[in-house]
Structure 1
Amino acid sequence: MSDLTSSEKRKLERLFGMGSGYVLDFSNRTFAEFIEESVRRDIYDARYEHGSGSKANRLRGFWSLESNPIVGKLIGDLIEYGKDLNAFKNDGSLPDECLKIVARLRQANPVADIDALSATVDERDFETVANHIRDIIEKNEPEAGLDRLHTFIIKFVRTLCAEHGITVARDKPLHSRFGEYVKRLRDSGQLESEMTARILKSAISVLEAFNDVRNNQSLAHDNPILNYDESLLIFNHVASSVRFIQTLEDRRKRAMPNPEPVMTNDDIPF
């Protein structure tokens, strides 16, 4: 649910003229169409029924149920729509104040561990994919980035295998590569609990399912793409897994003995 304050709600209600039960100049049909296009939600779903069920009350119900990024996107789109109508000509600074509310709401990232999805080696392609993924999440469009997320995780797992001296054929599926990596972690005693090992083993089957999503439900091909909520779940699951693995790898590297320093002429004391 969003964390709009009472003061913020009052400002938005004034801007959109919600006191009468309406929202701007929308009819029931155009209101539903606008929200479907903006955030892919059915505003006439029973869960948004609030008070009298008017458009204004349904928007209030939407604010109480949806996350900050979703609410921020819809409010931002409504403000742009109102500006196009010239609906705010007598509202002074209120539109700008409401845009500040939008900016605050959009700061809340829908993918908690998005920072983990960054290139782990200095490689242009890897960095490009990682940057593209973060741009997509900032726009709150995870369904548009599933193919890029799949490419990212392939590159990430390939790098892990290389660091552990695991040689895998280029055409080996993603889940099989990750399975080799998990086996190496277990065999080398890097995992302290059986539960952690089981969680990572379950991730192998998750990545196998991701292959199907990438091929049949993403923009990698001419597909009907997966819905927003399931796409967001995939992003959060993958990002949290990557975050854990990065932490595990950092711990492993810190535990490795430091190589003996190589003496140069400048190191010889005279």
Structure 2
Amino acid sequence: MAELDYKENFLIEKLFEMPTGYVMDFSNNTFQSFIFDSIKVNIYDDKYFYGSGSKANRLRGFFKEEPNYKTGQLLSALLDYWYTKAIANEHGFNFERDKNIYTECLKIAQRLKEEKIVDEIEVIKEINDDRDFNLLAKSIRESIDKNEPESALDRLHTYVIKYIRQLCENHGIEIKKDESLNAIFGKYVKFIVANEKIESQMTERILKYSIHVLEAFNDVRNNRSFAHDNEILNYSESVLIFNNVTNSIKFIETIEKTIQNVSETIEAESTNWEDLPF
């Protein structure tokens, strides 16, 4: 549900003339086409049915069903439409009369779009000297910026495989080329547990449970993503998967940082001993 308070709802409804049951000068067909062209959503989907099912109620239903970012996207598109009509002095649109409301609605749209759908998306990042990996990371982030997580599930899966494989290679963990994501992650977890990089039993259990989560990710990649000719997974579950995966990578980064710091400390101490005059 979009986070709109009473004042924000009032301003949006007033600018778009929603108390009439209409939304500006849209007909049913143009309303449906405009929204689909703008954000690839069918506003006449049953989940947006609200009240009488009028255009205004459909838009209210959209606000009730969709998160902040997606609502901000549609609101921005509708505001562009209103502005184009208003500066052209179309009948019923008056820029001078409503410009203050329009400005406030722009602020509302911007606030809504500032909400990140994936909290730790910055962990999907480029690395030095690996063009394929960098293109993959860039492509995934672009899909999230467009609020299309469902379109990037297959690439996220590929990214995680490459990421975990690289970690295993860094630590000399033997893996086979055809091993699944959950299998290589299981070997990585076994390595960090054996080397006492985990302090609590709960964290160890969470990581081991994550092996089963990644096993399920294999199924999503194969059967609910663009990896093949599939019916794509819905938006909400795609966001959940992205957040789960990126949060796991964020934690792994802290483990890797600890390992690196220990190695650097040991190396520094070894150098100091070599410098002693005896």
Place the TM-score, normalised by the shorter chain, in its bin: 0.7 to 0.9
> What amino acid sits opposite 1:70 in the alignment?
K
Distance of 1:258 and 1:193 partners within structure 2: 24
1:128 matches 2:132: no
2:9 aligned residue: 9
> 1:176, CA displacement in angstroms?
1.0
- Is residue 78 from structure 1 mapped to residue 78 from structure 2 by the alignment? yes
Alignment partner of 1:171: what SS?
A: coil
Q: Once the 2 structures are TM-superposed, how far is the Cα of residue 201 of structure 1 from its aligned partner?
A: 1.4
TM-score by length of 2: 0.80
Shift of 1:43: 6.0
Within 2, Cα distance between the matches of 1:227 and 1:53? Answer: 23
Aligned to 2:19: 19
Question: How far is the alpha carbon of 1:76 from its aligned partner?
Answer: 2.2
Secondary structure, in 3 states, of the residue corresponding to 2:9? Answer: helix
The one-letter amino acid paired with 2:95 is D
Please report how far the alpha carbon of residue 65 of structure 1 lies from its aligned counterpart in structure 2 after TM superposition.
Answer: 4.8
Q: Tell me how far 1:172 sits from its aligned partner.
A: 1.6
How many angstroms apart in 1 are the aligned matches of 2:158 and 2:243?
Answer: 16
Structure 1 residue identity aligned to 2:135: T
1:49 matched residue in structure 2: 50
Partner of 2:95: 91
Distance (Å, rounded) in 2 between the aligned partners of 1:46 and 1:167: 49
SS in 1 for 2:268: coil
1:96 Cα deviation from its structure 2 partner: 5.0
Shifted more, 142-151 versus 206-215: the winner is 206-215
Match of 2:253 among 239, 246, 250: 246
Q: Is the 8 A contact 2:50 2:60 kept in 1?
A: no
Question: Which of 239, 243, 247 is the equivalent residue of 1:236?
Answer: 243
More deviation, 177-186/92-101: 92-101
Question: Which deviates the most, 35-44 or 193-202?
Answer: 35-44
Q: Which of 177, 186, 192 matches 1:170?
A: 177
Is the contact made by 2:69 and 2:116 (CA closer than 8 Å) also made in structure 1? yes
% identity of equivalent residues = 47
TM-score, reference length from structure 1: 0.82
- Find the aligned partners of 2:42 and 2:251 in 1 and give their Cα distance: 33
Give the superposition deviation at 1:254.
2.2
Give the deviation of 1:214 after TM superposition.
1.5
Q: 2 CA distance for matches of 1:53 and 1:222?
A: 34
| CA 144–59 in structure 1, closer or farther in 2 if over 3 Å, else same | same
Task: Determine the C-alpha separation between the residues in 2 that align with 1:168 and 1:150.
Answer: 18
Could you list the per-position Cα deviations for residues 74-130 of structure 1 after superposition, in whole angstroms to 9, with x for gaps in the alignment? 21233344456x267423435454333222211111111111222355522222211
Q: RMSD between aligned alpha carbons?
A: 2.9
Residue equivalent to 2:214: 207
Superposition pairs of residues 146-157 of structure 1, within 5 angstroms: 146-157=153-164
Q: Is the Cα contact below 8 Å between 1:218 and 1:226 reproduced in 2?
A: yes
**Structure 1 residues 48 and 109, CA, compared in 2 at 3 Å: closer, same or farther?**
farther
Question: How many Å separate the matches in 1 of 2:21 and 2:48?
Answer: 18
Q: Whole-Å Cα distance in 2 between the matches of residues 260 and 239 of structure 1?
A: 33
Give the secondary structure class of the aligned counterpart of 1:260: helix
| Kept after mapping to 1: 8 A contact 2:224/2:231 | yes
Give the corresponding residue for 2:267.
259
Could you say which residue in structure 2 is the equivalent of 1:184?
Answer: 191
Aligned residues: 262
Q: Is the 8 A contact 1:35 1:43 kept in 2?
A: no
Unaligned runs of 5+ in 1: none
1:111 matched to 2:118? The reply is yes
Whole-Å separation in 2 of the counterparts to 1:79 and 1:186: 54
Moved more, 6-15 or 87-96: 87-96
After superposition, the C-alpha distances for 1:225-251 in whole angstroms (9 at most, x for unaligned) are: 111111111111111111111122212
Q: In the aligned structure 1, how far is the partner of 2:43 from the partner of 2:108?
A: 23
